[in-house]
Amino acid sequence: MALPAASASAKSIFKKLLLLNSPQKFSPARFAASATAYSAIRNRGKSKIKSEPNQQQKQKAELLVKRRTRSDRELDEDVFSKHYGDDSSAHVPVMLGEVLDAFATVNLKSFVDCTLGAGGHSAAIIQAHPEMEFYVGFDVDPVAHQIALDKINHVLDKDSGHSRSHLQVHTLVKNFKSIKTALHDIDENRSPGVQGILMDLGMSSMQVNNAERGFSVLCDGPLDMRMNPQHEFSITEGGGRQGWIKTATRVFQALRIAVNDELNTLKDSINSCFDSLGPGGRLAVISFHSLEDRIVKQAFLDIINRSDDGAKQLNHSEKLDSYKEKEAWVKQIVQGKDANILTKRPVTPSESEERLNPRSRSAKLRVIEKV
């Protein structure tokens, strides 16, 4: 199947993730050959690891554990079962407790959710911050937009006795890359910026589980993959997945990323989001694969390196101690003139969350605060 011409970054993604010589061509036969080659490479790697002495394996395992900052916030199994039970189609907001922690000490009078999804994060944050006066939610998926709006309205109706009439709610069927323009159009006099912004870059369960949307690896359906079904670029040929070998998730990620131009959008949007923050405001980003996380990490570093002073890591300092007194989840920070990165290493889900919600296992949370 021939795909339309893609951008340079999309081509790079296809080379890395599809393991094809040409990013312009995609067919089940070529994919099968590439996947077989990839499997052989993985098996060679596994054989090499098995041949290493047990002590070396142990040291490598310990190093990986040290590099990972796993969340200490355990997920309550009873609460999880009560809300989601055995419903695999339900969209579970990933790292919800950690996101709430990231904004807990912020006077969150204004908040922007760049990726509404089913509205799980937004609903919880609105409930946790009765001081909120201004809320904006973005999602390019009109179906997700309506589901999220219904959930937010339900929360507002439920909390009507807590004087929620002062809260302005704006939900937009737009890409979050237009955050600056959108905020200006909504209220051009609003200053000096918003206090909190969240970007959850993962797929929602309602998109993955709907075969007609074409995001699922396991379900047979048209290869569409558009976040916004009105987008003109889709993958509409290929006859489903019959006859394919076991489909690799990374291939679907590559196709989805190319269709929605996600990586280019992400890099520019992080800077736009940070610029939209007011002093003391925070931007939290949840990514789900290494390409996204690398962009988030570098974008944060670029922000704190804008000034001539550069950045410096704070492990044991008065500044770090002041954070840890109020926020136990902060382990290491990187300080800049205009911003502080509160997650030198990304926070990853707790063991209990990974067990109860396997889709969270690759999630990484990074947080930056504007000074």
User: Looking at residue 212, what is its pLDDT?
Assistant: 52
Least confident of 81-85, 134-138, 296-300: 81-85
Give the pLDDT mean for 53-61: 65
User: Looking at residue 69, what is its pLDDT?
Assistant: 86
User: pLDDT confidence of 188, banded at 50, 70, 90?
Assistant: confident
Which pTM does this prediction carry? 0.72
User: Looking at residue 108, what is its pLDDT?
Assistant: 97
User: Looking at residue 257, what is its pLDDT?
Assistant: 58
Domain boundaries, the chain: 1-67, 70-205+263-370
User: Looking at residue 246, what is its pLDDT?
Assistant: 45
Which tops the pLDDT comparison, 191 or 282?
A: 282
User: Looking at residue 218, what is its pLDDT?
Assistant: 47
Give the pLDDT mean for 124-150: 92
Which tops the pLDDT comparison, 90 or 331?
A: 331
User: pLDDT confidence of 327, banded at 50, 70, 90?
Assistant: very high
Three-class SS of 83-110: HCCCCCCCCCCCCHHHHHHHHCCCCCCE
State the Cα–Cα distance between residues 303 and 17, nearest whole angstrom. Answer: 28
Whether 128 contacts 98, CB under 8 Å: no
User: Looking at residue 88, what is its pLDDT?
Assistant: 53
State how beta strands 110-113 and 194-200 pair: parallel
Comparing CA positions, the residue from 123, 115, 221 lying closest to residue 177 is: 115
CATH class for the domain made up of 70-205+263-370: alpha beta
User: pLDDT confidence of 204, banded at 50, 70, 90?
Assistant: low
Please report which residue ranges of the chain form alpha helices under DSSP H.
Answer: 8-13, 28-51, 54-67, 77-83, 96-103, 120-128, 142-158, 179-186, 205-208, 249-260, 262-275, 290-304, 318-326, 351-356
Q: Which two tokens stand for residue 350?
A: 């707790």
User: Looking at residue 163, what is its pLDDT?
Assistant: 62
